[in-house]
């Protein structure tokens, strides 16, 4: 279900401009049915264009002229027919290469993908990250560091065991590296080359790609570890509503809504990491093994069958994609979800370090100040205390 | 903090193992993307 929602959002974002404008069928009588200047201009303006007059005009081998007549040796297909067939991936192509994409000689999705990757993706992704940093800066100026309100006890309580911290840092460390190397790959041409030159960037890009491809496995392992270690404690409960109602007490000194081991804010981060991180992992695997894990055509087909595209006023999504188009969708999706997760993680890093006194200790040493724990996870402290009391009351066997 | 550093070291180790392991298992991105020769059918 979530994958479906995300896919619709993605399609809506990437194709909104093209769907927004419709183009009436031009009069092609002057060209004998071939494309006109109006067709070419409409295509250049990214307008929706019914080009069946080209895609279905591929000649007819059945009506091939006799070999002694004109065009007979071409089997009923003229050169333009053949080029149109190549253009629409309808030609019968044989290759010595056995790669899945080898028989698709021309596909024009690449230009749309390139325009998106170098335009809207960079612009809006950049705005999202810079906007997040700016918001956190404003929040810090207004609220300052969230201090421990009560008097410190000097006692500590174990918040996370070593295996939990290991899983967290395995995932977190690799995610930071993945984010940085991903940003280098995405923004390098625009920002690194003008600064350092082509030769330097070539080395950086090559290294970034190697690191990005291979450290992704550590991220996926960490993701699985974290999911199984914390999923039960991240199931929403009624206390989360109270926490959300007072904004977690983040905006006001002295407000401390009750929470178990994870509060509602942490649960949002957890499920964002699991769902978005999972989606990034799947699209990343598709990119890691080119053409081997196509998934968008199937997803689009399901969306069409469920009638979701019709519900939101969209035309049916393309249920048949060339292998290259699958890769383009995978890259775009990988980057979009990556940007969203980066923004969430930047906020998580802020609140877990400079934003809140005592928070880093939870993942640093695993031991937190008892007063900090009482203020932010009061119900969890009660549970831990009760458990410890039971254990100490039980006589040794 | 030691756990954090250990996790970072493990992430690096996993990356190296993944690189050599996948190559040894025959996974090579280049083999899927290369298309050295194309011809149209008769």
Domains identified in chain A and CATH numbers: 2-108 (no CATH), 112-393 (1.20.950.20)
Cβ partners under 8 Å of residue A49, min gap 6: A23, A39, A42, A43
Of A216, A226, A133, residue with least CA distance to A175: A216
Kindly state the average pLDDT of the residues B20-37.
Answer: 64
Asked if A349 has any chain B CB less than 8 Å from its own CB, the reply is no
Local structure of B36: helix, strand or coil: coil
Contact check, Cβ <8 Å, B8/A173? yes
Burial of A352-363, coded b for 16+ CB within 10 Å and e otherwise, reads beebbebbebbb
Measured in angstroms, the CA of B27 and the nearest CA of chain A are apart by 8
Please report residues of B whose CB lies closer than 8 A to that of A291.
Answer: 32-33
Contact A121, A332 (CB under 8 A): yes
Residue A6 is predicted with a pLDDT of 53
Measured in angstroms, the CA of B41 and the nearest CA of chain A are apart by 5
Q: Which of A82, A99, A166 sits opposite B7 (nearest CB)?
A: A166
Of A53, A45, A44, residue with least CA distance to A20: A45
Contact check, Cβ <8 Å, B14/A101? no
Q: How far apart are the C-alpha atoms of A249 and A126, rounded to whole Å? A: 30
| pTM for this prediction | 0.82
Burial of A261-275, coded b for 16+ CB within 10 Å and e otherwise, reads bbbbbbbbbbebbbe
- Mutate which of A169, A291, A292, A365 to test chain B, going by most B C-beta atoms within 10 A? A169
Asked if A93 has any chain B CB less than 8 Å from its own CB, the reply is yes
Beta bridge partners of A94: B39
- Mutate which of B1, B2, B4, B5 to test chain A, going by most A C-beta atoms within 10 A? B4
Residue A392 is predicted with a pLDDT of 74
Q: Which of A36-45, A176-185, A317-326, B26-35 has the highest mean pLDDT?
A: A176-185
- When mean pLDDT is compared across A14-18, A355-359, A377-381, the lowest value belongs to A14-18
Measured in angstroms, the CA of A270 and the nearest CA of chain B are apart by 19
Q: How far apart are the C-alpha atoms of A44 and A385, rounded to whole Å? A: 68
- Residue found by looking up tokens 């006890």 in the block: A153
Residue A221 is predicted with a pLDDT of 96
With cut-offs at 50, 70 and 90, classify the pLDDT of residue B36. very low
Asked if B30 has any chain A CB less than 8 Å from its own CB, the reply is no
Longest Cα–Cα distance in chain A? 105
- When mean pLDDT is compared across A137-141, A280-284, A300-304, B34-38, the lowest value belongs to B34-38
Query: Would you say residue A18 has pLDDT above 50?
Result: no
Q: How far apart are the C-alpha atoms of A41 and A281, rounded to whole Å? A: 39
Residue A19 is predicted with a pLDDT of 42
Of A56, A79, A80, A91, residue with least CA distance to B40: A91
Contact check, Cβ <8 Å, A217/B14? yes
Q: How far apart are the C-alpha atoms of B16 and A53, rounded to whole Å? A: 53
pLDDT, tens digit, 9 for 90 and up, residues A248-274: 888 888 788 888 999 999 999 999 999
Scanning A283-312 for CB atoms below 8 A from B yields 288-292
* Smallest CA–CA distance from A85 into chain B, residue: B40
Angle between helices A264-288 and A238-245 (to 10 degrees): 100
Please report residues of A whose CB lies closer than 8 A to that of B40.
Answer: 82, 91-94
Measured in angstroms, the CA of A349 and the nearest CA of chain B are apart by 15
């Amino acid at each position: 279900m979530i994958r479906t929602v995300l896919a619709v959002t993605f399609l809506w974002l990437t194709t909104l401009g093209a769907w927004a404008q419709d183009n009436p069928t031009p009069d092609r009588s002057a060209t004998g049915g071939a494309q006109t200047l109006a067709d070419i201009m409409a295509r250049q303006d990214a307008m929706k264009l019914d080009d069946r007059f080209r895609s279905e005009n591929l000649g007819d081998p059945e009506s091939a002229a006799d070999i002694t007549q004109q065009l007979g040796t071409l089997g009923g297909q003229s050169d333009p027919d053949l080029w149109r067939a190549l253009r629409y991936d309808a030609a019968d192509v044989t290759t010595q290469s056995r790669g899945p994409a080898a028989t698709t000689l021309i596909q024009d999705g690449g230009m749309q993908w390139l325009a998106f990757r170098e335009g809207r993706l960079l612009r809006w992704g950049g705005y999202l990250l810079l906007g997040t940093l700016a918001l956190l800066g404003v929040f810090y100026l207004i609220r300052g560091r969230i201090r421990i309100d009560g008097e410190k006890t000097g006692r500590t309580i174990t918040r996370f065991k070593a295996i939990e911290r290991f899983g967290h840092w395995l995932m977190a460390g690799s995610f930071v590296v993945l984010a940085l190397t991903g940003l280098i790959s995405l923004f390098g041409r625009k920002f690194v080359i003008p600064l350092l030159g082509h030769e330097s960037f070539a080395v950086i890009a090559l290294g970034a790609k190697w690191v990005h491809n291979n450290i992704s496995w550590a991220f996926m392992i960490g993701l699985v570890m974290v999911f199984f270690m914390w999923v039960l404690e991240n199931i929403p409960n009624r206390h989360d509503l109270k926490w959300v109602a007072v904004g977690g007490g983040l905006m006001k000194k002295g407000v401390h809504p009750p929470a178990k081991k994870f509060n509602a804010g942490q649960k949002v981060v957890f499920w964002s990491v699991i769902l978005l991180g999972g989606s990034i992992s799947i699209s990343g695997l598709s990119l890691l093994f080119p053409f081997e894990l196509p998934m968008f055509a199937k997803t689009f087909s399901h969306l069409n069958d469920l009638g979701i595209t019709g519900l939101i006023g969209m035309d049916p999504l393309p249920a048949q994609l060339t292998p290259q188009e699958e890769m383009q969708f995978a890259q775009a999706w990988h980057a979009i979800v990556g940007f969203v997760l980066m923004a969430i993680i930047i906020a998580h890093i802020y609140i877990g370090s400079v934003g809140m006194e005592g928070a880093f200790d939870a993942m640093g040493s695993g031991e937190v100040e008892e007063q900090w724990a009482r203020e932010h996870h009061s119900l969890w402290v009660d549970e831990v205390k009760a458990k410890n009391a039971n254990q100490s009351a039980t006589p040794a066997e | 903090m030691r756990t954090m550093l250990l996790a970072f070291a493990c992430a690096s180790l996993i990356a190296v193992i993944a690189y050599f392991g996948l190559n040894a298992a025959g996974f090579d991105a280049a083999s899927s993307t290369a298309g050295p020769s194309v011809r149209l059918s008769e």
